[in-house]
Structure 1
Amino acid sequence: MSNYSPVILLSIFCIGLLNACGLNNAPQIDFPDSNDIDYSSNRRASYNFDCKTPSSINLGIISDEYYPNQYFLNQMKVKEAWKILLNENKCFGNNVKVTVVDSSIDAKHEDLDKNMDISGSYNFITGVSGSIAEPQKNHGTSVAGIIASGANGFGVVGIANKSRIQSYNLLNNNTDANKLIAMNTSGDVSNNSWGPSDRYPILETINSNLKIGIDEGIKNGRDGKGTIYVWAAGNGGKNYNNSNYDGYANYRKVIAVGALTTQGTQADFSEKGANLLVSAPGDAIYTTKITPQTFINNDCNGINCRYTKTFNGTSAAAPMVSGVVALLLEAKPSLGWRDVRLILARSASKIDSSNSDWKQNGDGLWVNHQYGYGLVDAEAAIKLAKNWANVATEVSYTTSQHYTINNKIEYTTPANSVDFTLSIANGQTNLSSLESVELIIDSDHSYWADLTIVLISPQGTKSVITETHLCNQQCSSQNGQSLSGFVFSSARLIGENPIGNWTIRIEDGFKKDSGTVNKITLNLHGT
């Protein structure tokens, strides 16, 4: 006996009657229970790569419907990376676990169901592990599709299409306590296509529980090699926002990712910042979305209703990087979290080459506030990783300086900046090669958005930390906004030697508000 309910049986009878009577212009309805309905009927034949013998896999048989539309696979040289892995008997990120911290994922989706790690997932609505909530929004499903949609004849192909997806639907119940849980997973990679609101360009301090969770994941994840945290840089570019104002995306232990257009230039919504590590496509992305409850002619604006062709934002760019990281970890599982960061930076492609912001840092690496070190290059990253020697234990060094004279910051005509200097002499630290720098300024300036702050390394590399910008009166000390205590970061100084004079140059670009700088602290990290 069929398991259909009386309502569904009646509907099927009615549809059959309409067809029998020649009334086949009526809308055709599919029902959503994937256990009862064969979604693949009347569609191209499915296939499934066998990772038992990767070297025998023929990429030429990939025939997923929208595979030709996934331009980013070419832009990031993902197909070339696949070929390298297959030749080394590796297989599309096989069994690398990627935690998608987002809204809930459609675990029954035809393109995702085979790659879902339900036992490793967590339902924040019920507080139950090994469970996935029914999705209400497309976002998490679209993010997951970029990473791990199967190469199976359906829809789209994920960058790491043999990786395992864990659904952590934090955005369905985003409490402080849940943030701590969400950052502590069994996943190898944690994708975070979310962050504070981009409405106003204000300072957003990282949540303390979330920071603790990341620190624990870095220390204990992947058997001590560290979970890889990938973070969307932010979509507030049109609102004068800068990714460095976001304490989530600018945390030195995450990989901040900017978004590109289909032409490979900065998307206008993508936030720039000295904290950006790399960029990836984030415009007109074909990916999965929630399987709708009903289908009308199985067509949604010219595309199958289970998919979208308009997913965009740094939300789309971040999972591009997570997918590449999954490939990288399959290629070389021994890589530590810092090794992954360095490999991505050193193998990235310089794009939009006429952009005037491209500068070589003291180690000869090209870097740009809009792009970080450039477009993620999967092929180059895999090749670089092959003979990569893991970096030594991290060395950190903190230096600070109090200022009592010539420390006034105010608007002047003509414009005049004030330089503050911190010096590191030979022998003061064992650090010789930087990986990241944090800047903390203790200041009583009453409107920080008036200020342009530039950090200049001993080798002359400039990191623009803040820029004078409009803030709709949201950035004043009266609204609780203050430079003091906020941690800015720069990822632009990879490979540089920290010895010498550091300059912090500050200029006030608007009248009325003023203040003093009392103390500046630099936290330097590397080897």
Structure 2
Amino acid sequence: MVASFVFRLPLVLLVAQLAASATVSRTPAKRSYDSHDYYVLQLDARASATPDECANELGVELVEQVGELAHHYLVRVPSSSFDSPDVSSSPSKRSNGQISSSSPASDAIVERFHALRSFPSTSSHSPEARSPSSPSRSHERRRRISKSLRSLERQVPRQRTKKRAPIPERSDGTSVWDDPRAPVPPGSKSQVIAQELGIVDPIFNDQWHLANNQYPRYDLNVSGVWAQGVTGKGVITAVVDDGLDVNSDDLNANFWLEGSWDFNDHTNLPLPRLSDDQHGTRCCGEIAAVKNDVCGVGVAYESKISGIRILSGPISDADEAAALNYGFNTTSIYSCSWGPPDDGRSMEAPNILIRKAVLNGVNHGRGGKGSIFVFASGNGAGSGDQCNFDGYTNSIYSVTVAAVDHAGMHPYYSEACAANLIVAYSSGGGNRIYTTDVGKNKCTSGHGGTSAAAPLGTGTIALALQVRPELTWRDVQHIVLRSAQIINPDDPDWEKTASGRLYSYKYGYGALDAWTLVELARTWPLVKKQAWIEMPQVEIPGSAIDALGVMTGGEFIGPNGVESKVEVTEEIMKSHNFENLEHITVQVWISHHKRGDVEVEIESPSGIKSILGGARRFDTATTGYPGWKFMSVKHWGENPVGTWTLRVKDQQVPNVNGSFLGWTFNLWGECIDDSKAKLYVLPEDMPESNGEDHPPPLTVSFTTTESATSTGTATMKLKPTNGLPDDHDLAQGDNKNPAFPNQSTSTAPPSSPSHTVAPDEGYFDHIGDLLNSSTWLIVALVLTAIFASAAGLFFWRRRAQRLASSGAGSGGDDMAMGIVDDSSHRLLGGGPRGPGRRRAAGELYDALGEVSDDDEEENEYADARMYEDEEERRAREAEHPGLRYHDEFLEDDTPDSAAVSPRMGTYRDDVGRSAGAGASASTSELPPREKQAQGGGAKSTTTATGTLLDVEGTSTGSGGSGDSWEHASADVGR
């Protein structure tokens, strides 16, 4: 395969790219983990000793610098004769000068490192210093080396994980790709676009994410951008995955060798060599498939694409760190569709070396404008997973992309959380993503999951960078969220934030729209540099964490949960050169017998609540939250001055409890004065003090993953298909249910009884609350009295009816009873009950009186017709049957009358607003920067041809399908 590629790629181009690669990118040395043990040695930035001196003193071989990380060096020694134990899940020591968790206690290199680190503490008056065997020159050299050493971390290769969508398979060996596809009607959206732009790619009509013929409003709205010549020219994207098939006719012309590397097989061609190495090629096709006659087109079909292969075998943290910075001077975007297992029980963050690489990318990549990292939110929502338990997706440096399907619905697999920035299109509701596959001219119809949504976000950002290459990584996040389009506006998950924008845990700030994004990018005023505020750490008295990370003490989490508050003042803002809020991060220390029972939320001074972590039913870990960091983008643009309240609660299960030990709160945003701004440095890289280091009790960094099934392979990044449900492409989407149904909303009034409970449960849903109150006895007595009265009245009416039927009894009595009953009917509804009339609240009296449905139906007409003969009465009843109690209750729950609607609160949209009104209101409340650069939320407005304008702007949205997943939201305009 390699030879085939070399002959097909023009020789001049190949030589030029190889030369550029040699001068611009550091070519990683080949690893030999089978025969050598590898370590990452960090030297102090002020080190006077050279890397070679330090390596020689440690007795290790210096291999190379770790990627683009300054002062970090990969060293190695031949493997020990004994097998080193796997300690990857043991707690990590994070005080300065200590090794990481991955170093065996018996490691001779580790012992040597400790000995060298402790050397400066030897007194100059000690016997060793005065000994003739300690010459002054040797002593000085060892002292310099000792002061130069910062940390040592042993490298243990681990398998990173893909999150791709499986190809649908059948028992006869065929796939959905073999099925004949329905012909596309002439004049359809995709055909008109193809004709106008000269697209002849055979599966373009199937690429609904680019041109949706069935639901025209639900695609990337990209054709008008293409018509302007914006196709990603000059922008390079790296897909960090399982390889890129450079032999594909759909990708070869756009392949960028300089930014490519295979960290699994240590070659410069990241070819897919394993049978399941397909996901990376498919993602590359979504982004940059060439406009030709092979398969389909990419979103940015004239951009360049690199492959960085890391998911096809075990790699170390040093390899992953190098991969995320590889070629970062020329590569603009890193598309990452992988992460921790989406099983609803894992909680994993990247280790310190990888966090350093990501920070290095945003600080120094693209000539200081910052690398752009795009991550898929995850496919584990069906297992109760949430993307805030993934340290890649909840990073402030990530553009986190969730999924919606071809009808604009939320797929049940797409993870929700406060870190979701936006949604893009992917599988669900009977459809999938059509794109390039591994092979010379192969295509696939089986791509899906959030790992297919993220590359669409990547390609769209590439279009924006073509027209505005000076955008920084934070500018990109700004324009992405500000150009997002609200879909399913009646979904109760939407909430109006303090900035005036809508936010949803499921949809982020809305659906990606290429036209609006590019138009906004053209005129967007660049943000000032980043500023941040690290609020003082809050520690509950009596809390403690030992050297092994075991948490004790803290405040017990009782029935009312635990609250803790911090105050942000104007003075704090000014002293930190802080002007506008973007992200917030919250790090918590919580001990608990079942981590999945814990719920964490924070409320801003404006009353906006961010659910940071909801309950996860499958997470049975007993390790709690030993310093886990959550992130929220929901408070973007909000004034942070005032009191922020953190709330922690659990499910109050007997003997399954925990305690809250403390938390830290950080704010990230835009500075006041650019001239005073500085780059953020991780605490681990801060200069060491000369005095003795005493880290505070709650600064233990969380660096390992604990789960119910943790066996020491906790930091594995699974294949992108891992955890994606088999029915990801077929399951019906949703736009009626909030992501966290049991959580209160921001500044919402007390909730009323739900309209969606089962008929026999609605009125007794809170009986447990009555039992906890002393008023329940009074209520019970009153209900008993009502019951007795109702029973007496019932027998009185039955007796009067029987007397009337037999012609006996006092007519006066019977008439008086009839008058009373008829009057009650008029008070409740203005006339006798008939079909379609709803029962008023007072009519619950009948149910409490235990009147049977049949008797009630008969008695209503008996009172009004007591002097008619029995046959006539029955005949009239047959013509006008009455509603029964449970029938009416069910009627109240019909979609027209009782569908769940957004809860009304200070920051909620009006329930009945139209899509257009909502869009207008949202625009009117935008801050000055956004009004200045707003690109508009409509479909393409000015294109090269009028025909394209008609296709994008005048489609009716009727899909021609009557399937159950066609919701009314499909008719809501952008």
Q: What is the TM-score when the length of structure 1 is the normalising length? A: 0.81
Q: Tell me the residue number matched to 2:261.
A: 122
State the shift of 1:419 in Å.
Answer: 2.2
1:370–1:447 CA distance, 2 compared to 1 (3 A): same
1:177 matches 2:318: yes
**What is the alpha-carbon distance in structure 2 between the residues aligned to residue 218 and residue 364 of structure 1?**
28
State the shift of 1:338 in Å.
Answer: 0.2
1:131–1:103 CA distance, 2 compared to 1 (3 A): closer
1:359–1:114 CA distance, 2 compared to 1 (3 A): same
1:79 matches 2:219: no
Equivalent runs, 1:351-390 vs 2, <5 Å = 351-390=487-526
* Counterpart code for 2:279: H
1:291 matches 2:439: yes
Q: Tell me the residue number matched to 2:649.
A: 507
* Counterpart code for 2:261: Y
Q: Tell me the residue number matched to 2:622.
A: 476
Contact 1:106 1:135 in 2 (8 A): no
Contact 1:123 1:133 in 2 (8 A): no
**What is the alpha-carbon distance in structure 2 between the residues aligned to residue 448 and residue 134 of structure 1?**
40
Equivalent runs, 1:19-38 vs 2, <5 Å = none
Count residues in correspondence. 448
Out of 208-217 and 93-102, give the one that drifted further: 208-217
Q: Tell me the residue number matched to 1:197.
A: 341
* Counterpart code for 1:312: G
| Aligned partner of residue 248 in structure 2, secondary structure | coil
1:401–1:456 CA distance, 2 compared to 1 (3 A): same
* Counterpart code for 2:622: S
| Aligned partner of residue 432 in structure 1, secondary structure | strand
Contact 2:538 2:664 in 1 (8 A): yes
Equivalent residue for 1:331, pick from 439, 448, 467: 467
Aligned-pair Cα RMSD in Å: 2.1
State the shift of 1:417 in Å.
Answer: 3.3
1:109 matches 2:248: yes
Q: Tell me the residue number matched to 2:609.
A: 462
* 1:422-478 deviations in Å (ceiling 9; x for gaps): 1112211232321111001122233221111111111222111111221252x212x
1:279 matches 2:423: yes
Contact 2:403 2:426 in 1 (8 A): yes
1:433 matches 2:433: no
1:124–1:59 CA distance, 2 compared to 1 (3 A): farther
1:313 matches 2:313: no
State the shift of 1:207 in Å.
Answer: 2.7
**What is the alpha-carbon distance in structure 2 between the residues aligned to residue 523 and residue 472 of structure 1?**
27
Equivalent runs, 1:393-404 vs 2, <5 Å = 393-399=529-535, 400-404=537-541
Contact 2:340 2:347 in 1 (8 A): no
* Counterpart code for 1:385: A
Identity of aligned residues (%): 30
**What is the alpha-carbon distance in structure 1 between the residues aligned to residue 534 and residue 585 of structure 2?**
9
**What is the alpha-carbon distance in structure 2 between the residues aligned to residue 195 and residue 235 of structure 1?**
10
1:153–1:133 CA distance, 2 compared to 1 (3 A): closer
Q: What is the TM-score when the length of structure 2 is the normalising length? A: 0.45
Q: Tell me the residue number matched to 1:63.
A: 200
State the shift of 1:272 in Å.
Answer: 0.4
1:131–1:60 CA distance, 2 compared to 1 (3 A): closer
Equivalent runs, 1:257-272 vs 2, <5 Å = 257-272=401-416
State the shift of 1:169 in Å.
Answer: 0.6
Contact 1:77 1:379 in 2 (8 A): yes
1:154–1:131 CA distance, 2 compared to 1 (3 A): closer
* 1:162-199 deviations in Å (ceiling 9; x for gaps): 11111101112332221011101221100001111112
Contact 1:78 1:159 in 2 (8 A): yes
| Aligned partner of residue 378 in structure 2, secondary structure | coil
* Counterpart code for 1:170: I
State the shift of 1:126 in Å.
Answer: 3.0
| Aligned partner of residue 485 in structure 1, secondary structure | strand
Q: Tell me the residue number matched to 2:528.
A: 392
Out of 462-471 and 200-209, give the one that drifted further: 200-209
* Counterpart code for 1:156: G
Contact 1:440 1:484 in 2 (8 A): no
1:129–1:376 CA distance, 2 compared to 1 (3 A): same
Q: Tell me the residue number matched to 1:163.
A: 303
**What is the alpha-carbon distance in structure 1 between the residues aligned to residue 634 and residue 571 of structure 2?**
24
Contact 1:119 1:130 in 2 (8 A): no
1:316–1:266 CA distance, 2 compared to 1 (3 A): same
**What is the alpha-carbon distance in structure 2 between the residues aligned to residue 503 and residue 484 of structure 1?**
20
**What is the alpha-carbon distance in structure 2 between the residues aligned to residue 273 and residue 429 of structure 1?**
27
* Counterpart code for 2:506: Q
Q: Tell me the residue number matched to 1:486.
A: 628
* Counterpart code for 1:65: P
1:226 matches 2:370: yes
State the shift of 1:366 in Å.
Answer: 0.9
**What is the alpha-carbon distance in structure 1 between the residues aligned to residue 539 and residue 529 of structure 2?**
30
Q: Tell me the residue number matched to 1:138.
A: 278
* Counterpart code for 1:488: F
* Counterpart code for 2:658: G
Structure 1 stretches of 5 or more lacking a match? 5-56, 293-304
**What is the alpha-carbon distance in structure 2 between the residues aligned to residue 235 and residue 321 of structure 1?**
16
Pick the structure with more strand per residue.
1
**What is the alpha-carbon distance in structure 2 between the residues aligned to residue 409 and residue 201 of structure 1?**
23
**What is the alpha-carbon distance in structure 1 between the residues aligned to residue 554 and residue 645 of structure 2?**
14
Q: Tell me the residue number matched to 1:248.
A: 392
Contact 2:581 2:667 in 1 (8 A): yes
* 1:293-321 deviations in Å (ceiling 9; x for gaps): xxxxxxxxxxxx71111200011000000
Structure 2 stretches of 5 or more lacking a match? 5-193, 212-218, 543-552, 671-974
State the shift of 1:219 in Å.
Answer: 1.2
Q: Tell me the residue number matched to 1:445.
A: 592
Equivalent residue for 1:523, pick from 642, 666, 671: 666
| Aligned partner of residue 395 in structure 1, secondary structure | strand
State the shift of 1:112 in Å.
Answer: 0.6
Equivalent residue for 2:237, pick from 92, 95, 98: 98
| Aligned partner of residue 98 in structure 1, secondary structure | strand
Q: Tell me the residue number matched to 1:33.
A: none
* 1:386-407 deviations in Å (ceiling 9; x for gaps): 1111111111001132333996
Q: Tell me the residue number matched to 1:148.
A: 288
* Counterpart code for 1:69: D
Out of 283-292 and 235-244, give the one that drifted further: 283-292
* Counterpart code for 1:524: L
* 1:266-293 deviations in Å (ceiling 9; x for gaps): 111110000011110111000011118x
1:495–1:472 CA distance, 2 compared to 1 (3 A): closer
| Aligned partner of residue 326 in structure 1, secondary structure | helix
* 1:127-150 deviations in Å (ceiling 9; x for gaps): 233664546421111110000001
Q: Tell me the residue number matched to 1:28.
A: none
